[in-house]
Structure 1
Amino acid sequence: MQFSEKWLRSFVDPALDTEALGQLITMAGLEVEEIKPAAVDFSMVVVGHIVETEKHPDADRLKVCKVDAGQEELLQIVCGAPNAAAGMKVPCALVGARLPGFEIKKAKLRGVPSFGMLCSAKELGISDDQGGLYVLPDDAPVGRDVRELLDLNDSIIEISLTPNRADCLSLLGVAREVAALTDMPLTAPVIAPVAPVIDTRRGVVLDAPEACPRFCGRVIEGVNAAAPTPDWMKRRIERSGIRSISALVDITNYVMLELGQPLHAYDNTKLNGDIHVRLARPDEKLLLLNEQTIDLEPDTLLIADERNVLGMAGIMGGEESGVTAQTRDVFLEAAFFSPDAVAGRAREYGFSSDASHRFERGVDFNASQGAIERATELIVSICGGQPGPVEVAESLGKLPARNAVMLAPARARKLLGVDLDDDQIAALLSRVHLDVTREGELFKVVPPSYRFDIELDVDLVEELARLYGYDNIPALAPQGTMAMLPRSEDARDLWMVRRQVSDRDYQEVVNYAFIEEAWEHDFCGNGTPIRLANPIASQMSVMRSSLIPGLVNTVAVNRKRQNPRVRAFEVGRCFIADANATPVPGYHQPVRVGLIAAGSVAAEQWGQAARNIDFYDIKGDIEALFAPAQLRFEAAEHPALHPGRSARILLDGDDVGMIGEIHPKWVQKYDLGTPPVVCEIDADAAMSSKLPVYAVISRQPAVTRDMALVLNQDVSVDSVLDALRTVESPIVKGIELFDVYQGKGIDPDKKSLAFRVLMQDTQRTLEDAEVDAAVAALVQRAEADFGARLRG
């Protein structure tokens, strides 16, 4: 939104210079992006009247002009402009004038003296038009300073508005803000109803009242569409960034800029029957004013008559019903279209307009009739014509409601940090035209029809902050009592988990929580993922229920960049549909830790033979993370993992995660090279930590015995260890597996498990007999429970 400073000051004129005014507007929440002069700096350029012209004696394209510039004598000026002619009034730069980039001096052009220069718009920096001299009005006083005549001592202010402040997409809206901030009177345009002269009217039917609850229309006959737009109006709309087209179009744009209500003018002779506001029908097309023909979607709101589509409601009119220089009868429209009916429609068709920019943010639904009266007044005064009565079609029940907002003064003071009394609060809110009444200890505040952004009490507190002045709110340091909180030894935070994992040669990655639906199906077996209502990209349409898909994608991306060795981890939240979940009903959101490793165990080097990562490498990393707690690993299946190389991780009997090698079909589908090994565990389990327990350190030597047990293939190591550890022997301190053997000397359906038994006493040296007895008891337990035998 940009506008002329002088136009703004015609509404409210505070005693502030341009820079201070811009700062005031910015601190009100309407950020000023740029302030620039309306024209470049030039001096000593006056209105000149060309009295006579004659051809240059030595140049076909030059003319020698006699110019009355308000001096004692006529000035002789050599000019090359093709449109220079006697009787014109044009800008005349006198000798000594400074123009952009140069200074005017006495000169000779092809031997003829020249005492000044006649100027084009480009030479004055007004526009890029250099087709000839800039023609001034016939009534321009000779010798008057051109800067004053054209009102060039002006500034153009450009502001950046947040979508909630659509009320400031007009000069009246910005002026209301400035008046409230400076406590200055607001001089708004006086809008008086224009009495109808004729009885011609055109009916309006609201076929979609939810999308258009109010429509005002008026017929004006006998207008002169070819009448020129007044210079003051042309300057104001051009300095607002809108090109002047014709008087009728310029007037509708002017009222839109002035009041914030978009309007549209139709050639009334091209309309048939009543006007209908309806949704598009199948296979309808429309040729727009921008000469673009579009196929209309069924959810597009249209303005139509009994036969044809006239335009896209709130966006752009049609070419076939638009006004031209030959138009004599006009049908003027001013309506309120619901933001939901307009938002996004222009972008769907690949263009935008000033009207759609306003309607999709919210327009004052009570401004339609005032805007049509204002436009009628301007059309009659500039183009002539005879207005008919205003036709109003409305569905009052569909208009937006302006619900009252209750504000507790004590809450406002607490949030602001400023001790405003109740009278100050009421006075400040009233300055922005809020209807403030007292109900007990609360203020009842009703926002006006143009304020769509006030719905909660915090919105009112924001208004108080703006009006009181952010710079006036003291910057006080927060105060509070701080105390060292106890930290439990049996827990650690996620940063400690991160450090421990990174110490094992893993690098942390951060992936999106929304992923491809195919990933959720492949790696999680989830056929009904949580879908996003408005995904940022088509390949990010569902929420992840596991960290595994993102980690696998990390490996795939690295492989494409010739980096096959990857060791990565992620700490993140997953999202699982669960009707009984808390605190967010319907969604369980656990935090998990995921690790993935692919490629070689170590970077290529001379001191270690190359070997690809395997299941047991990652298993060792997980055991180190949980140490000194003992984990159990039980064979289990998972959609993402190799069915024979995956396991469930158990901590104190609770399932805390999965570990395994990526399934071969996913390795092939996602081009992962050597199968990566991945692990995913609950963050809460990873943050748990066993308390240290004191144990006496023995001074006596330890005794170790090895025993190799032959068992069936289907017997798990964990079950054997569990059974052996139940044998009560005070001297047995530890039992560990150190070898698994299959081959010569062992039946094909058998395997040999070799265990090392550590025995020790804190008070004495062990004797061979009690050591043998302890080992024998272990063997007997294995024989009884699993049918094991000692390997010979």
Structure 2
Amino acid sequence: MRVPVSWLRDYTDLPEGVTARDLAAALVGLGLEVETVDSVGADISGPIAVGRVLSIEELTGFKKPIRHCRVDVGGANGTGEPQNIVCGARNFGEGDLVVVALPGAELPGGFAISSRKTYGRVSEGMICSAAELELWEDHTGIVVLPAGSAEPGEDAYGLLGLREDVLDIAVTPDRGYALSMRGVAREAATAYGTAFRDPADAAPAGTPGGGYPAAVADPAICSRYVLHGVTGFDPEAPTPAWMKRRLALAGVRSISLAVDITNYVMLELGQPLHAWDRSALSGPVEVRLARSGEKLETLDHVTRALDPDDILITDDSGPINLAGVMGGAATEIGLSSTDVLVEAAHFAETHIARASRRHQLSSESSRRFERGVDSALQPAAAARAVRLLAELGGGEIDRGYTHIADESAAGPRPIAVAADLPDRVAGVSYGTGRVRAALERVGCTVEEDAGGLRVTPPTWRPDLTDPNDLAEEVVRIEGYDNIPSIPPRAPAGRGLTAGQRLRRSVCRRLAATGFTEVLTYPFMGERDLEGLQVGADDPRRHALRLSNPLSEDEPLLRTTLLPGLLKTLVRNVGRGFNDVALFETALVYIPRPGAPDSAPMLRVDRGPTPEERESLAGALPDQPRRVGAVLAGDREPGGWQGPGSPATWADAIETAREVARSANAELVVRAAQFAPWHPGRCAALYVRIGGEERLVGHAGELHPRTVAAYGLPERTAAAEIDLDAVEEAGGPATAPHVSGYPVALQDVALVVEEGVPAADVEGALRAGAGDLLEDVRLFDVYTGEQVGEGRRSLAYSLRFRAPDRTLAAEEIAGARDAAVAAAAERTGAVLRG
């Protein structure tokens, strides 16, 4: 809604010195979204005055008609002598009042006016058109002012409103009243405590009854319907300059006087109007819903198939209007219309909103109707329109008018609200007196009773339906910026949960090792799973389908983090980042066995019942938290010191180990085959919970088919691990005891079958060595003729240390032999000679 400040001042006297920006700040403080303050005409400067054309000399010999004019500009030129001006326009004559830009003026676009010789004569200025002054959209020629409206030499800035401040307000759906000068002026009066002059308070123009015959089929679709007519209207009467200018500043194009008046009243009062050529109507008017198969050609000359939910205005010929959205072409008012019938109605908001979207017609009328208009405003709006038609178009107002109202429909219902509710909402002690005063400033009627306040909202605020709405109004009027900022106090002894601390620790640890955290959408598609080479019987195929997905390519809730991470990796590589390490900590969604495929739809007019909550909880999937990581390119970049180190499957496994270390959990790694990893470079990850091993994820190099399907760099590695399970396996971190006694190193080389995991051999060594063993490290793997086909040699370094003494050689040898014996017993290992 564009609001010219000068127009706003017609309805409230703003304090002296208040600028447009001050007003914008005050309205923002009341909750209106003022997006911009436009200074229209700020690029116009210099002398621009009213002139009277004294004489016109037609110049010949040129390709187009040229006129040499003598124009009286009074004392605006400093001499009082007439100005000689060359002009090519033809729509004015001797004696007409015109607008003259004198030498030294500058018009929009940086067009400077000076005395210059043109067409063989000296032109001392310019006679201006509306387009040249950017007053309104007009291509008919020079601005000709009505006779007697001004005197030669009078300043044109104030007369035409060449310089205006305009507020551009983004009106939210709950504040439909702000789509009018009346509504914004009421807010401005509230902000500054000034008197508000309601333009809808004028007396009716006529008496109800005896107007054009009409009927409303169902009061539920139209609770109030008014028709008021004017006869003897001059269809060629021009729209006055002041109205054209105000419409242009508000962003509305001038069309004809009758249409301009309906638009002007709509902007002024917020009530959409429609004007018919009464002679084009056939019989009584009826407001009803559309019937199957009906069609209507609207004013944009598109024939539309009507829906049974559409509200129509009809006569004996059929539909003539799509109510609240757009008029019909057959009854359009034109340049021969002398009898005008004005319609003002209160239509059902939801019907208008659906019709506007159904027919893809968003009009100024539909924007207001769907947000809710004043349900009592229609007689006043129609009266205002017919008065303007009679005053500006020379018509005569009908003595009677049609007024159909639903007598059974009550007005705004009273709302019982506790007097201290705004206090409790805002945390400010307003008191009953201030609460009552604030609500009365909004327009509410307030009565006190034993239980608090009984508040009846005004008809122009259909959004006030709940005690909380009223509390919000009090807080808004009292000022959001007056609510003190009080930091909440954290209860003693509370802080982050163990899970929160773990997630932060994981994120910090991975970031410290070179990873970048990303957030991806929790959606995936069948194509993503096919790219991962996931089999048809894989549980990850069983995913929940969204009823309204953002993209038809991703209609499923993810069961793995990898699709989002891999697509993010591809996007980064495509932008020139060849060495990438990304991770994400997020939820996946695993449907529960036997759960329904869809969640129940709950009602919105009440809270859910215990049974409904239970059924809703039963439909929710399991949502474990996982950590996913992907790596591509060099893990360590190359440089002068040598070539870089590429990221491999081992780095993916080490990433999983870092996650486990954050939880102080021990990770067991075993070779495995699991999509989408390479079958020879895939590790299954286990933790020990309650003495048993639990699979928590996989890590390694991705399968070449997955790399090709996603367009990934070669040898891309990835890991995915269940963080909830790792947290369950972990425990509180304990500081190790640091012994001051020397360490003893022993190396052993064990020959095992190729299929024996190195982790099993390491576990056996640890179990056999006992408490003296400080650490075990695999430092060499050998396969060849010396160990035999199908076998391999694993060389381990064993570190022994006692906390209270220096170990004797016998103790070290005994612990070493016990470790080898345990490995031989559990894995079949043979000490290599």
Do residues 529 (structure 1) and 544 (structure 2) align?
yes
Task: Tell me how far apart the structure 1 counterparts of residues 408 and 554 of structure 2 sit (CA, whole Å).
Answer: 42
CA-to-aligned-CA distance 1:11-66 (integer Å, 9 cap, x gap): 2223334505444334333354225357945657345264x545469989555656
CA-to-aligned-CA distance 1:481-519 (integer Å, 9 cap, x gap): 998989999995544433321332323333344555643
Task: Tell me how far apart the structure 2 counterparts of residues 617 and 439 of structure 1 sit (CA, whole Å).
Answer: 73
Instruction: Give the deviation of 1:669 after TM superposition.
Output: 1.4
Instruction: Give the deviation of 1:457 after TM superposition.
Output: 5.3
- Does the aligned pair in 1 maintain the 2:422–2:475 contact within 8 Å? no
SS of residue paired to 1:658 = strand
Moved more, 553-562 or 581-590: 581-590
Partner residue, 1:135: 144
Partner residue, 1:16: 16
Structure 1 pair 89–589 and aligned structure 2 pair: CA distance change class (3 A): farther
State the one-letter code of the partner of 1:384.
E
State the one-letter code of the partner of 2:213.
R
Partner residue, 1:671: 711
Partner residue, 2:447: 437
- Does the aligned pair in 2 maintain the 1:734–1:757 contact within 8 Å? yes
State the one-letter code of the partner of 2:582.
A
CA-to-aligned-CA distance 1:543-589 (integer Å, 9 cap, x gap): 54443222111222244345443222223454556688999993655
- Does the aligned pair in 1 maintain the 2:137–2:254 contact within 8 Å? no
SS of residue paired to 2:144 = coil
Partner residue, 2:520: 511
- Does the aligned pair in 2 maintain the 1:62–1:78 contact within 8 Å? no
Task: Tell me how far apart the structure 2 counterparts of residues 716 and 700 of structure 1 sit (CA, whole Å).
Answer: 32
SS of residue paired to 2:719 = strand
CA-to-aligned-CA distance 1:132-180 (integer Å, 9 cap, x gap): 4322223436547364994538734223134132211111111211222
Instruction: Give the deviation of 1:780 after TM superposition.
Output: 5.2
Partner residue, 2:535: none
Do residues 631 (structure 1) and 667 (structure 2) align?
yes
SS of residue paired to 2:718 = strand
- Does the aligned pair in 2 maintain the 1:270–1:321 contact within 8 Å? yes
Do residues 498 (structure 1) and 534 (structure 2) align?
no
Do residues 691 (structure 1) and 751 (structure 2) align?
no
SS of residue paired to 1:438 = strand
Instruction: Give the deviation of 1:427 after TM superposition.
Output: 1.0
Moved more, 306-315 or 231-240: 306-315
- Does the aligned pair in 2 maintain the 1:641–1:660 contact within 8 Å? yes
Structure 1 pair 521–180 and aligned structure 2 pair: CA distance change class (3 A): farther
- Does the aligned pair in 2 maintain the 1:92–1:119 contact within 8 Å? yes
- Does the aligned pair in 1 maintain the 2:262–2:273 contact within 8 Å? yes
Do residues 160 (structure 1) and 160 (structure 2) align?
no
Partner residue, 2:250: 240
Instruction: Give the deviation of 1:362 after TM superposition.
Output: 3.0
Task: Specify which of 648, 667, 685 is matched with residue 648 of structure 1.
Answer: 685
Task: Specify which of 325, 328, 334 is matched with residue 344 of structure 2.
Answer: 334
Structure 1 pair 791–145 and aligned structure 2 pair: CA distance change class (3 A): same
Structure 1 pair 403–754 and aligned structure 2 pair: CA distance change class (3 A): farther
Task: Tell me how far apart the structure 2 counterparts of residues 400 and 683 of structure 1 sit (CA, whole Å).
Answer: 58
SS of residue paired to 2:261 = helix
Task: Specify which of 600, 622, 627 is matched with residue 593 of structure 1.
Answer: 627
- Does the aligned pair in 1 maintain the 2:228–2:386 contact within 8 Å? no
Instruction: Give the deviation of 1:430 after TM superposition.
Output: 0.6
CA-to-aligned-CA distance 1:205-237 (integer Å, 9 cap, x gap): 35xx87x34362537474536152552544433
Unaligned runs of 5+ in 2: 533-538, 596-613
Task: Tell me how far apart the structure 1 counterparts of residues 734 and 531 of structure 2 sit (CA, whole Å).
Answer: 42
Aligned pairs for 1:15-54 within 5 A: 15-19=15-19, 20-32=22-34, 33-36=36-39, 40=44, 43=47, 45-46=49-50, 48=52, 50=54, 53-54=56-57
TM-score, L = length of structure 1: 0.81
State the one-letter code of the partner of 1:617.
D
SS of residue paired to 1:679 = strand
Identity %: 28
Structure 1 pair 621–144 and aligned structure 2 pair: CA distance change class (3 A): closer
Do residues 426 (structure 1) and 436 (structure 2) align?
yes
Aligned pairs for 1:452-463 within 5 A: 452-454=462-464, 459-463=469-473
Task: Tell me how far apart the structure 2 counterparts of residues 663 and 737 of structure 1 sit (CA, whole Å).
Answer: 27
Instruction: Give the deviation of 1:444 after TM superposition.
Output: 4.0
Instruction: Give the deviation of 1:658 after TM superposition.
Output: 3.3
Structure 1 pair 328–538 and aligned structure 2 pair: CA distance change class (3 A): farther
Moved more, 606-615 or 82-91: 606-615
Structure 1 pair 575–732 and aligned structure 2 pair: CA distance change class (3 A): closer
Task: Specify which of 63, 66, 87 is matched with residue 80 of structure 1.
Answer: 87
Do residues 569 (structure 1) and 583 (structure 2) align?
yes
CA-to-aligned-CA distance 1:318-353 (integer Å, 9 cap, x gap): 333322223355554433445544448657766642
- Does the aligned pair in 1 maintain the 2:24–2:167 contact within 8 Å? no
Do residues 89 (structure 1) and 96 (structure 2) align?
yes
CA-to-aligned-CA distance 1:600-651 (integer Å, 9 cap, x gap): 4443457666775432222123324534642113566655444562413325
Partner residue, 1:203: 215
SS of residue paired to 1:203 = strand
Task: Tell me how far apart the structure 2 counterparts of residues 646 and 733 of structure 1 sit (CA, whole Å).
Answer: 26
- Does the aligned pair in 2 maintain the 1:44–1:97 contact within 8 Å? no
State the one-letter code of the partner of 1:406.
V
Task: Tell me how far apart the structure 2 counterparts of residues 363 and 69 of structure 1 sit (CA, whole Å).
Answer: 47
Task: Tell me how far apart the structure 1 counterparts of residues 753 and 104 of structure 2 sit (CA, whole Å).
Answer: 109
Do residues 549 (structure 1) and 563 (structure 2) align?
yes
Do residues 406 (structure 1) and 417 (structure 2) align?
yes
Moved more, 160-169 or 291-300: 291-300
Instruction: Give the deviation of 1:763 after TM superposition.
Output: 3.3
SS of residue paired to 1:390 = strand
Task: Tell me how far apart the structure 2 counterparts of residues 343 and 65 of structure 1 sit (CA, whole Å).
Answer: 55
Structure 1 pair 300–755 and aligned structure 2 pair: CA distance change class (3 A): farther
Task: Tell me how far apart the structure 2 counterparts of residues 341 and 310 of structure 1 sit (CA, whole Å).
Answer: 17
State the one-letter code of the partner of 1:10.
D
Do residues 253 (structure 1) and 263 (structure 2) align?
yes
Moved more, 414-423 or 155-164: 414-423
State the one-letter code of the partner of 2:39.
K
- Does the aligned pair in 2 maintain the 1:572–1:593 contact within 8 Å? yes
Task: Tell me how far apart the structure 2 counterparts of residues 430 and 495 of structure 1 sit (CA, whole Å).
Answer: 51
Unaligned runs of 5+ in 1: none
Structure 1 pair 301–719 and aligned structure 2 pair: CA distance change class (3 A): farther
- Does the aligned pair in 1 maintain the 2:276–2:331 contact within 8 Å? yes
SS of residue paired to 2:371 = coil
Partner residue, 2:235: 226
Structure 1 pair 561–426 and aligned structure 2 pair: CA distance change class (3 A): closer
SS of residue paired to 2:39 = strand
CA-to-aligned-CA distance 1:73-103 (integer Å, 9 cap, x gap): 9957555344376554213659899675667
- Does the aligned pair in 2 maintain the 1:259–1:371 contact within 8 Å? yes
SS of residue paired to 2:329 = coil
TM-score, L = length of structure 2: 0.77
Equivalent residue pairs, number: 780
State the one-letter code of the partner of 1:763.
R
Partner residue, 1:619: 653
Structure 1 pair 379–585 and aligned structure 2 pair: CA distance change class (3 A): farther
CA-to-aligned-CA distance 1:692-723 (integer Å, 9 cap, x gap): 3443626355252525243483x544445545
SS of residue paired to 2:217 = strand
Do residues 603 (structure 1) and 637 (structure 2) align?
yes
Instruction: Give the deviation of 1:429 after TM superposition.
Output: 1.6
Structure 1 pair 601–102 and aligned structure 2 pair: CA distance change class (3 A): closer
- Does the aligned pair in 1 maintain the 2:419–2:431 contact within 8 Å? no
Structure 1 pair 293–747 and aligned structure 2 pair: CA distance change class (3 A): farther
